[in-house]
Structure 1
Amino acid sequence: MSRKVLGILAVIVVIVIILFATGFWDVNQTEEGALPDVDVSAEGGELPAFDVDSKEVVVGTTETNVEVPDVDISTDETQVEVPVVGVKDNGEE
Structure 2
Amino acid sequence: MTKTLLYSALSLALTFTAVGCDVDQVRDGKLPTLDVDASGDPGQLPSYDVDGPDVDVSMEESEVTTPDVDVEMKEKTISTPDVDVTLPSDNE
TM-score (norm 2): 0.24
Rg larger for: 1
Larger % of strand: which? 1
